[in-house]
Amino acid sequence: MYELIIFAGTTEGYELSRFASEQGIHTCACVATEYGRKSLTENEFLHLSDGRMDAAAMREFLLEERPLMVVDATHPYADKVTANIRVAIDRLPEEQRPKYLRVLRRKAEYTETTGNAVYVEDADSAALFLKDTTGNILLTTGSKELPSFAVHEELRGRIIARVLPLPEPLQICIEAGIEAKHIVAMQGPFSQEMNEATLRQFDCRYMVTKESGAAGGFAEKLEAAYACGVTPVVIGRPFEEEGLSEAKCRREIIDRFGLHPEPEVSIIGIGPGSTDLLTEEARRELSRSDLLIGAKRIVESVRERQDVVFEYDAERIFNYIKEHNEYRRIAVVMSGDTGFYSGAKKLMGMPGMNARVLCGISSLTYFMAKILESWDDALLLSSHGRDADLVSASAHNHKVFSILGKSDDVSTLASRLTKYGLGDVSMTVGENLSYRNEKIFTEKACRLTDYAGEALSVVLIVNDKPSVLPAVHGISDASITRGDVPMTKEEVRTISLAKLALMKDSVCYDVGAGTGSVAVEMALRAENGRVYAIEKKAEALELIEKNAKTFGCGNLRVIPGEAPDVLLDLPAPTHAFVGGSAGKLTKILETLVQKNPAVRIVINCITLETLNEALAALHTLCEDEPEIVQVNVARARKVGHSHMMMGENPIYIITRKGEVRP
CATH number at residue 214: 3.40.50.720
Q: What is the mean pLDDT of residues 570-590?
A: 92
Same domain, 174 and 217: yes
From the list 355, 324, 325, 318, the residue with the least C-alpha distance to 261 is 325
CA geometry: angle at 423 spanning 417 and 425, to 5°?
90
Contacts of 316 (CB under 8 A, 6+ apart): none
With a CB cutoff of 8 Å and minimum separation 6, the contacts of 441 are 428, 429
250 located within any domain = no
pLDDT of residue 60: 93
pLDDT at site 242: 81
Domain co-membership, 56 together with 152: no
Q: How many CB atoms within 10 Å of residue 514?
A: 23
Both 290 and 353 in one domain: the answer is yes
Per-residue pLDDT reduced to its tens digit, 391-423: 888 988 999 999 998 899 999 999 999 998 899
Residue 637 is predicted with a pLDDT of 87
Q: Is residue 471 part of a domain?
A: no
Residue 326 CB partners (closer than 8 Å, separation 6+): 247, 248, 250, 251, 254
Of the listed ranges 310-319, 337-346, 598-607, 621-630, the one predicted with least confidence: 621-630
pLDDT of 467 strictly over 90: no
One domain for residues 483 and 441? no
Helix (H) or strand (E) holding 417: helix 409-419
Is 58 domain-assigned?
yes
Mean per-residue pLDDT, 53-69: 93
Q: What's the confidence (pLDDT) of residue 644?
A: 87
Say if residue 486 is in the same domain as residue 592.
yes
Residue 110 falls inside a structural domain: no
| Amino acid occupying residue 143 | S
The confidence score (pLDDT) of residue 77 equals 67
Report pLDDT for 486: 67
| Residue after which a domain boundary falls, among 462, 490, 513 | 462
Whether pLDDT at 526 is above 70: yes
pLDDT at 115 over 50: no
Q: Would you state the pLDDT for residue 459?
A: 96
Same domain for 18 and 145?
Answer: no
Residues 357 and 372 in one domain: no
**Which amino acid belongs to residue 455?**
A
Mean pLDDT of 461-470: 82
pLDDT band per the 50, 70, 90 thresholds, residue 113: very low
Query: Letter for the amino acid at 287?
Result: S
Mean pLDDT confidence for 272-279: 90
The CATH number covering residue 322 comes to 3.40.1010.10
The average pLDDT across 544-554 equals 88
Burial 376-413 (b: 16+ CB within 10 A, else e): eebbebbbbeeebbbbbbbbbbebbbbbbeeeebbbbb
Output the pLDDT for position 478.
59
Q: What 3-state DSSP class applies to 662?
A: coil
Whether residue 467 lies inside any domain: the answer is no
Over pLDDT 70: what percentage of the chain?
A: 93
> What's the domain count of the chain?
5
- Based on the fold, state whether residues 336 and 374 are members of the same structural domain: no
> Rounded to two decimals, what is the model's pTM?
0.67
Question: Which of 197, 218, 235 is at the close of a domain?
Answer: 235
Helices in 422-530 by DSSP H: which ranges? Answer: 490-500, 517-525
Alpha-helical (H) ranges within 202-295 are 218-227, 246-257, 280-288
Strand order in the sheet with 399-403: 379-382, 399-403, 457-462, 426-431, 439-444
Query: Which pLDDT score, from 0 to 100, does residue 132 have?
Result: 85
The whole-number pLDDT of residue 201 equals 94
Q: Is residue 196 part of a domain?
A: yes
Which of 403, 259, 407 has its CA nearest to residue 326? Answer: 259
**Beta strands per DSSP E along 326-476:** 329-334, 356-358, 379-382, 399-403, 426-431, 439-444, 457-462
Is residue 59 very low, low, confident or very high in pLDDT (cuts 50, 70, 90)? very high
Confidence band of 223 (pLDDT split at 50, 70, 90):
confident
Q: What is the pLDDT of residue 660?
A: 47
Query: If pLDDT is split at 50, 70 and 90, which confidence band does 240 have?
Result: low
Residue 348 sits in the same domain as residue 292: yes
Mean pLDDT of 428-455: 94
10 Å Cβ neighbour count for 606?
11
Mean pLDDT of the 102-131 span: 72
Specify the 3-state DSSP secondary structure of 124: helix
Domain boundary among 67, 102, 137: 102
Asked if 390 and 341 sit in the same domain, the reply is no
Residue ranges making up the domain that contains 73: 4-102
pLDDT tens-digit profile of 70-97?
999 987 767 788 889 999 999 999 999 9
Contacts of residue 276, Cβ cutoff 8 Å, sequence gap at least 6 = 434
Which CATH number does the domain housing residue 552 bear? 3.40.50.150
Residues 489 and 528 occupy one common structural domain? yes
pLDDT of residue 114 exceeding 50, the answer is: no
**Angle made by CA atoms 94, 98, 100, in degrees to the nearest 5:** 115
Residue 468 in domain: no
Is 231 found in the same domain as 131? Answer: yes
Residue 529 lies in a domain: yes
Q: How much is the pLDDT for 109?
A: 46
Q: Report which secondary-structure segment, H or E, holds 550.
A: helix 538-550
Residue-level pLDDT at 652: 93
pLDDT digits (tens, 9 = 90+) for 166-207: 888 999 999 989 999 999 999 888 888 999 999 999 999 999
CATH of the domain at 373: 3.30.950.10
Mean pLDDT over 230-237 rounds to 83
Cis? peptide before 189, omega within 30° of 0: yes
